[in-house]
Amino acid sequence: MIVIVCSLSLLYLYCGYFISFGFSSYFPHWEDVSIYTNKDGKMIISQFREISGSIYDYRNRRIISDFGQFRISIDYPDNNMQGIWTEHDIKNDSTYTINLSKKE
């Protein structure tokens, strides 16, 4: 009997968690901020998401292939971005050239 009660309670919690976050607008989604392109044609996209209140998470992704809404990409560390890059700010729809060379 206790096994049935525990199984049903876990199922209830599992379904409740995914229903509450799946249909809520609060579920944190990654949002594109900027797209960086270098002279070799390498594209890096900078993304962020709001986790809770004023807690944010940022990441850079190297775009391997882009199919519109579907994109194949991998995590890309900040320190690998060296040299001259063209930054396209998505929110302001503006483009800048920036130098990301390390200063020693």
Q: What is the pLDDT of residues 59-103, one digit of tens each?
A: 999 999 888 888 899 999 888 888 899 999 999 999 999 988 865
Tell me the pTM: 0.68
Rounded to whole angstroms, the Cα distance separating 5 from 12 reads 10
19 pLDDT band (50/70/90 cuts)? low
99, 84 Cβ separation under 8 angstroms = yes
| DSSP state letter for 90 | T
- Cβ neighbours of residue 89 under 8 Å, at least 6 residues apart? 33, 34, 95, 96
Rounded to whole angstroms, the Cα distance separating 83 from 102 reads 8
